[in-house]
Amino acid sequence: MRMFAATLIVCVSSLFPSAGSCQSAVTPPLIPRPNGLRLNGGWMRLSIGSPVVVTPQTREVGEYLAAFLERASGSLIEVRERSAGPDGEYAPWDSDADIGAVVLSLDPTLERLGPEGYRLSIDSNSVRISSSTADGVFYGCQSLRQLLPATAETGRVRDAAWTVPQMQVEDSPRFRWRGLMVDCSRTFQSLEYLRKLIDCLALYKLNVLHLHLTDDQGWRLEIERYPELTGCGANYPERYHQSGGFYTQAQMRQLIEYARLRRVTIVPEIEMPGHCMGALAAYPQLSCTGGPFEIFPFFKGDGIQADVFCAGNDSVFTFLQNVLDEVIGLFPSRYVHVGGDEVPKTRWEHCPLCQARMRKEGLKNEEELQSWFIRRIEGYLNAKGRLLIGWDEILQGGLAPRAAVMSWRGTEGGVRASGMGHDVVMSPTSHCYLDYEHTTISVEKAYSFDPAPETFTGQQKSHVLGVQGNIWTHIAVSEPAVDRQVFPRLIALAEAGWTAPALKDWNDFSARLGRHFRRLDELGVNYYKGE
Ligand code: ACM
Ligand code: ZN
């Protein structure tokens, strides 16, 4: 239903500031840059209040788009479901009824664009978005969103012209994992903030939010069977005067659904066998020494703690399996991240149970004990239909048979693991560590990252799942500070994960990025401004 339908058109140069006249062709400021785009000249007037036409398969995305357009325009937007023809098929286009509409449809012939690819066609009459999947239709909607004025993000200016260039986009991502990791342990992130991040990920066609939920600085996810994890494991001792926090399972379920509607998979990370003081503070009997322990305050740095899970104690595996059961029940993600990084071996060297385990299993050293630990957890996850992913230290002592590797200490781990036929996500400190200062990793440097460069063999390239930016929060300890580290470098990584290398061009990207700052302002993102 329409409350009002205004069709105010002003010069399009307000939409594309570098356009000299209403009709001049100018590259639309789409990020990531589409892999196929043809401007057809001319413009289409998108009426405020234009209906969104859907089929049953695109209804969910249509409702998302309508909600966005409603917020933007202040008008109620009709979501109109197309009826099926006598053969049960949906006509891709109805030349009478679709005039002036945004039409979202599935088109099996677009399977050639892959599961996230889409076609966006704008002519003088309508906007049509089609794909072989609802995910692709969603990404087409994000491209349309970026063609609207920045003020559409908040609806603050309701009489803006909605004029979009006539064009045809056929687009699909280079990689299927385009992610951001957020450390919720060192600094607890509010649900509201995580929702804002998810909105930004969707806008830039990123599809993974990896939540680092447990570490030495706190355990942040409710596990019903072990209430102390979020009792003493999530809260600092009083003398630190620091607040902690955790997500209940009900809250996390809502966040997962919020993300799903925006095509973002939340990948949970439960750290083991190290970085686990959140768990050991609550259940010290899971360590080699028996404790007692406290969670480690973030303001003392990101320090690596010597105490880790005891690898010789079977009750540690009972505990971890029970935790993972609840994690799997909550998160639909195919991958479960188990950390595996920075595990000091000193406690294991002196622990009779760990040493007995090594003798029993014929393990030569503590590196092999870590590998045995990760393999055992991998077996458990695989039996539940999930895949294990871990930081590149899981290569040490031998990689678990089906494990995927997140390469962070440079790209070497990713090179090695992909060469061995394992899937990898590239997030090296050199380009993807968003907690590093902007003077160390500039936007241009992040943009230059190629997750699967020409030096890789065909086999290696085929195992690169994609790219991920990581924000650790021992220095960025507030949400504005996290924003300042993440943006706009994450946007550069988004293009590195989506756009073919031949189409990447720093000057062109930086001109398009310049036209996104207004949008980020509207979204309340405290991006780095170069001060
Ligand atoms: C890491 O940065 N320790 C994965
Ligand atoms: Zn031990």
Ligand (nearest to CA of 472): 1
Task: Return the pLDDT at 24.
Answer: 37
Residue 5 has pLDDT above 90, yes or no: no
What are the beta bridge partners of residue 44? 164
Q: Judge residue 344's burial from the number of C-beta atoms within 10 Å of its C-beta, 0-12 exposed, 13-18 middle, 19 or more buried.
A: middle
Q: Tell me, what amino acid is at 183? A: D
pLDDT at site 348: 98
H-helix or E-strand spanning residue 127: strand 127-131
Say yes or no: CB of residue 304 within 6 Å of ligand 1: no
Q: Which two tokens stand for residue 516?
A: 């996104």
Higher pLDDT among residues 95 and 416, named by residue? 416
Q: Which ligand is nearest to the CA of 352?
A: 2
- Whether 275 and 305 have beta carbons less than 8 Å apart is answered as yes
Ligand 1 contact via 341 beta carbon (within 6 Å): yes
63 within ligand 1 shell (Cβ under 6 A) = no
Q: Which residues have C-beta within 8 Å of that of residue 521, sequence separation ≥ 6?
A: 150
Residue written as token pair 């993972």? 324
Rounded to 5 degrees, φ, ψ at 292 are -75, 165
Q: Which amino acid, residue 119?
A: R
226 C-beta closer than 6 A to ligand 1: no
pLDDT tens-place string over residues 350-409: 999 999 999 999 999 999 999 999 999 999 999 999 999 999 999 999 999 999 999 999
Residue 78 in tokens: 């009709």
In tens, the pLDDT along 287-330 reads: 999 999 999 887 777 679 999 999 999 999 999 999 999 999 99
Q: Which amino acid is at 46?
A: L
Q: In this structure, which amino acid lies at residue 415?
A: V
Query: Is 90 exceeded by the pLDDT of residue 98?
Result: no
b/e sequence 179-195, b meaning 16+ C-beta within 10 Å? bbbbbbbbbbbeeebbe
Question: Cβ(487) to ligand 1 under 6 A?
Answer: no
| Mean predicted lDDT score pLDDT of the chain | 92
- What is the CA(275)–ligand 1 centre distance, in A? 10
Distance 287 CA to ligand 2 centre (A): 6
Q: From CA 399, how far away is CA 393, in angstroms rounded?
A: 9
| Distance from the alpha carbon of residue 354 to the mean position of ligand 2, in angstroms | 4
Pocket test for ligand 1, best of 215, 271, 342, 468 (most atoms within 8 A of CB): 342
Query: Closest residue (by CA) to atom 3 of ligand 1?
Result: 341
> pLDDT grade, residue 240 (50/70/90)?
confident
For the chain, state the CA radius of gyration: 25
Give the residue carrying structure tokens 């050639």: 112
Quote the pLDDT of residue 7. Answer: 28
Q: Which amino acid is it at 13?
A: S
Nearest CA to ligand 1 atom 2: 408
Q: What is the pLDDT of residues 125-140, one digit of tens each?
A: 999 999 999 999 999 9
CA of 223 to the centre of ligand 2 (A): 24
Residues 122, 123, 126, 131: is their CA dihedral positive or negative?
A: negative
Is the shortest distance between the CB of 391 and ligand 1 below 6 Å? Answer: yes
The pLDDT assigned to 396 comes to 96
* Ligand nearest the Cα atom of residue 354: 2
The answer to whether the CB of 433 is under 6 A from ligand 1 is no
Only one residue has tokens 């028996």, namely 290
Just list the catalytic residues.
215, 275, 342
What's the CA-to-centroid distance between 270 and ligand 2, angstroms?
19
210 alpha carbon – ligand 1 mean position (Å): 13
Dist. CA 306–CA 311, nearest whole Å:
14
Nearest ligand 1 atom, CA 406 = 4
Q: What is the pLDDT of residues 11-31, one digit of tens each?
A: 223 333 333 333 334 579 999
pTM for the complete prediction? 0.94
Report the amino acid identity of residue 527: Y
Give the confidence band of 241 by pLDDT, cuts at 50, 70, 90.
Answer: confident
| Ligand nearest, relative to CA of residue 347 | 2
Mutate to test the pocket of ligand 1, among 210, 276, 391 (most ligand atoms within 8 A of CB): 391
Q: What percent of the chain has pLDDT over 90?
A: 83
CA-to-CA separations, 155 to 15, 171, 302, in angstroms, rounded: 15, 28, 41
Query: What is the model's pLDDT at position 10?
Result: 26
Cα gap 496→477, rounded to integer Å: 27
Closest CA to 522 of 163, 65, 200: 200
Q: What is the sign, positive or negative, of the torsion defined by CA atoms of 10, 12, 16, 19?
A: negative
Write the CB contacts of 258 (distance below 8 Å, at least 6 apart in sequence).
195, 198
pLDDT at 260 over 90: yes
Q: What is the 3-state secondary structure (H, E, C) of 307-349?
A: CCECCCCHHHHHHHHHHHHHHHHHCCCCEEEEECCCCCCHHHH
Tell me the residue type at 7: T
Residue 453, burial from CB neighbour count under 10 angstroms (0-12, 13-18, 19+)? middle
- Ligand 1 touching residue 409 (CB < 6 A): no
> If 0-12 CB within 10 Å is exposed, 13-18 middle and 19+ buried, where does residue 177 land?
buried
Q: Which amino acid is at 334?
A: R
Please list the alpha-helical segments (H only) found in 9-164: 59-73, 134-147
Distance, in Å, from the CA atom of 220 to the CA atom of 274, rounded to the nearest integer, reads 16
CA gap 204, 201 in Å, rounded: 5
Question: Measured in angstroms, how far is the CA atom of residue 141 from the centroid of ligand 1?
Answer: 35
What's the DSSP call for residue 237? -
pLDDT tens digits, one per residue of 197-239: 999 999 999 999 999 999 999 999 999 999 999 998 898 888 8
Task: Identify which of 267, 272, 408, 436 to mutate to test ligand 1's pocket (most ligand atoms within 8 A of the CB).
Answer: 408
Pick the atom of ligand 1 nearest to 339's CA.
4
Burial track 124-156 (b if 16+ CB lie within 10 A, e otherwise)? eebbbbbbbbbbbbbbbbbbbbbbbbbbbbebe
Tokens matching residue 498: 């989506």
Relative to the CA of 470, which ligand 1 atom is closest?
A: 2
C-alpha distances (whole Å) from 305 to each of 217, 228, 283, 286, 473 are 10, 20, 16, 15, 17
**DSSP code of residue 82:** P
